[in-house]
Each structure stands twice: as C-alpha cells, then as structure tokens.
Amino acid sequence: MDFDLLVRNGTVVFPGRPQAELDVAIDQGKIVALMARGTPAVARRSIDAAGRHVFPGLIDCHLHFGFAEKITEYSTETTYAAQGGFSTVLGYFLNNEAYDAVFDRELGHARERCLVDFGFHFSTANELHLSELGRYVDEFGVTSFKYFMNFKGEEGRYLGLDGTDDGYFHDLLEAAAGLRDVTVVCHTENIEIVNRIRRKFQQQGRDTLRDWCLSKPAFTEAENIVRAGYFAERLGARIYVPHLSSRLGLDELRKWRERYPAVYAETCPHYLTHTLDADIGSLGKANPPFRTQDDVDAMWEGLADGSIEVVASDHVPRKRATKEKGIWQASQGFPGTATILPVLLSEGYHKGRVSLERICDSLTAAPARIFNLSDRKGDIRVGLDGDLTIVDLDERRVVDPVALGSYADYSLYEGRMLTGWPTMTIVRGEIVMQDARIVGAPGHGRYLRRPAIGAGHA
C-alpha cells in the first residue's frame, strides 16, 4: 500500500460513535483507508500522532465576510480558521443587490487567497432574491439562505438591506420548501418589542453592556422561534436557528422538534462562556446578547443532549476600535473561529459537561449534514475529503489574538488559559497548519458547490 499521507498512532474521534485506535491513509486528496495501528504501509509523508486525537476536519458554518479588508480577509480569516483546526468555512453575504456580480467578485478574491475550503450563504432581503432563489441553487451551488426576522422597517439599513415582513418570510419558506434540501437560516428576534425597550433605556440614559443585554430579553428570541417553526411546519420548509442563546429559546425549539423535525439549531462559544454581567463593556456587544448563567447552563445542556446540533462562531473580524464606543454605537459581534475548539475542550470536555464525540459531531458531521456537505466533509470515512484536525487535549495555551492571524486585533478570550488545542490542520491531504505555524499555500482552499439533491425547481 502506497499513499500520499499516513497519520499513524492517533486516537480517531468519530462524530457520534466510539473512538478507535487507527491509522488514517490519504491519497489524491481523499481518505482511502482506515487501518489497524501498525499496519504495514508506505507513504510519501507520515505523521506520528501518538498521544493525540484525530478529528475530522472541523467546519465553521457561520462566519461573516465583508466586515474586514474586503479582499485580504480571505487570507487573514482562513488563516485564523486553520489556526483553530478548521478545514472548511461557510461565510454569509448580506447584500441587497442581485448575487451574480457579488458571487463572481468574491469568488475571484477567495480562490486566490483561501487557505481552507469555503462556501457561501446568501441573505435574502428583497423580491429579487426571492424570485431568483432557484437560480442561485442551480448556478452557484448555494443551498442556504439567511432571513433576518428582525429586519423590519429600517432595522437592516445599516447593512443596506430592505425591510421585510411576515408575508415575505412566508413566501421565502414556501419557495425554499419547493426547492427541497434548501435551508432557511432564521435570525429569530422580535424587533418591535426590542425597539420599544431600547428607546426607553436610551431615554433613561442607560448605557452599559447589561443594559444592551436587557434590551433584548430572551422571550423575544423564543417567540420568533415559535413563529418560524409554525411557518416551516405549515409550508414543509427546513429551517435553522443560528446563535441560540437562551433557555426559553431552547425550550421552544425542543417543543417544535417533537412535532416537526426539520428545525435545527446552533449556538456559539460566547453563549457558553459569557453572561450579561461580564466586565468587558462594549467589547461584549453581540446580537443576540449575553444572557444569564442559567442560559449558559442551558446551552451546555442542549449541546450535550443533541438538542443543539452545531457550534459555530458567528465570526466578525472587526477591529477593537469599532467596539470601543458607547454601548448603543459600538459594533456588534467579534472574532471567534480559532478559539471554538479550545473553548469546547477547556470549558466543556475537561469540566465534564460534554463528550468528545458530541464536540466532534457539532463541529463536523452536523454542519456537513445540514448544509449539504456530507458527501465530502464531516467524518473520517473512506471516500471523503482528506480533511483532518489533530488535537492535543492537554496542551495549555494563553489566547493571543495576534498569533492567531485574524484581521481583528482582539479576542473575547484574550489572556485566558485554555486547555486543548489543534496542533495540525489538514485540508484534502495537505498540511496547512502545523504547531501554530501556517505552512499551507494561499489559494489551496476550494469553493464548495452544495447541490440540493433531487431539487424540485426548473
């Protein structure tokens, strides 16, 4: 047996099933064999993973392109992803225009610069997007579309997006259901209630991080989950709730899944670690906001029992300066991809909150399955892409945002010691990160067309 790459002596972590002591062989970019340790074989390159765990290549299915340097971000943010053990990223575009020119332009920038494999989600904001949904699936291989339930009236103008309403949402879900295998990503937030609370707080001169969080109470997330679930059930659509942050929301999600299974959910690392009383000021501004310790506990419970399928970053690579303003003026979101796995290992696995298999599933098989990548990604199985993440569960490292390589110049976890880090990222048989050093070539990443299998559109 002669291979391009052989990873020996590691403990292979599979999504949702027991670990195994196996050697993994990759040839021509694909996994071609899983062998008992020590099976005789020849490879052009061998890696000794003794004492380490071998995960499938990780997938971050929720990051944002367009908020950093708009061309070089494909280099910086995929470098950042590789440092975190991610071999695949899916980024959102938030545009009011037709996506033809957007897609061609961004794909051109990305192909020359991406270190890891990549795909796109499109946000839907107007009638043109609705009418062209099927064409985006056919021509661009995009099968996931985001809808902001909070972008009513002028709320989305800061991103250049039109305001919509429940009638539009209804028609979007109906169109997506007709295409099959298409997922509508629903930002769930009752903005009418939020706006009234926000105006009241601003009139009272309230301007702390806690005030920001209290202006968006948990029931405004939960109520919209009920509405999205009801619409989806009536229309036969598949929906995905990103950045779930509250116990109330999780409770409603569980209820809906009992009666309608095509409802999926994601949470983010910051909802597993931070509360509204975090002493970090406007640096912690996010949407949804940080909530209570009980909500943090609920996110861990949902991740552990599988009610929450996916953990993703909601990565936004803005500079610290955009955050250091009054709470109502500061930008929302923060960088996060590179620290997802260390947070889950340090705060989850090592504290007995969640198993390695659940962590693995939430970062590999689940996003691959939901976003139509499971024919290539998300597992260590013969025939899939040769994407591997080699992890040292016991490595202790202080988070240094400069060393991680994002355009963003800070981290929520800056200065914190985390235990459990990726030591190697392999994308289709090529090592792109080794021992915190980027060794891959820009442009190695490939665009991932995601087919809607058996789609019903013309």
**Cβ atoms 340, 363 nearer than 8 A:** yes
Q: Where are the alpha helices (DSSP H) in 55-190?
A: 73-83, 99-113, 127-131, 133-140, 166-179
- Residue given tokens 């499109």 in the structure block: 122
Give the separation between CA 60 and CA 326, rounded to whole angstroms: 30
Q: What is the pTM of this model?
A: 0.96
Query: Residues in the chain with pLDDT < 70?
Result: 153-162, 453-458
Handedness of CA 73, 75, 79, 85 (dihedral sign): positive
Please indicate, yes or no, if residue 431 is contained in any of the structural domains.
Answer: no
Tell me whether residue 281 is in a domain: yes
CATH of the domain at 186: 3.20.20.140
Domain range spanning residue 163?
Answer: 57-370
| Residue 6, domain member (yes or no) | no
- Residue 157: predicted pLDDT: 61
The structure tokens 């202006």 sit at 215
Tokens of residue 265, six digits: 């959910």
Decide if 423 is inside a domain: no
**How many angstroms separate the first and last alpha carbons of the chain?**
46
Q: How far apart are CA 4 and CA 128, in angstroms?
A: 47
- Token pair for 25: 């062989």
With respect to residue 50, please indicate whether it lies within any of the assigned structural domains: no
Tell me if 255 is assigned to some domain.
Answer: yes
Q: How many domains does the chain have?
A: 1
Cβ(270)–Cβ(282) below 8 Å: no
Backbone angles phi, psi at 429, to 5 degrees: 85, -5
Specify the residue for token string 């009610």. Answer: 307
At 172, the amino acid letter reads L
- pLDDT at site 154: 65
Q: Is the dihedral of CA 161, 162, 168, 169 positive or negative?
A: positive
Q: What is the pLDDT of residue 455?
A: 39
DSSP string, 64-80: ESSSS-TTTHHHHHHHH
Encoded tokens for 344: 């889950």
The first and second tokens of residue 187, run together, are 């930002």
Q: What is the pLDDT of residue 161?
A: 66
- Tell me what pLDDT residue 405 has: 96
In a domain, 397, yes or no: no
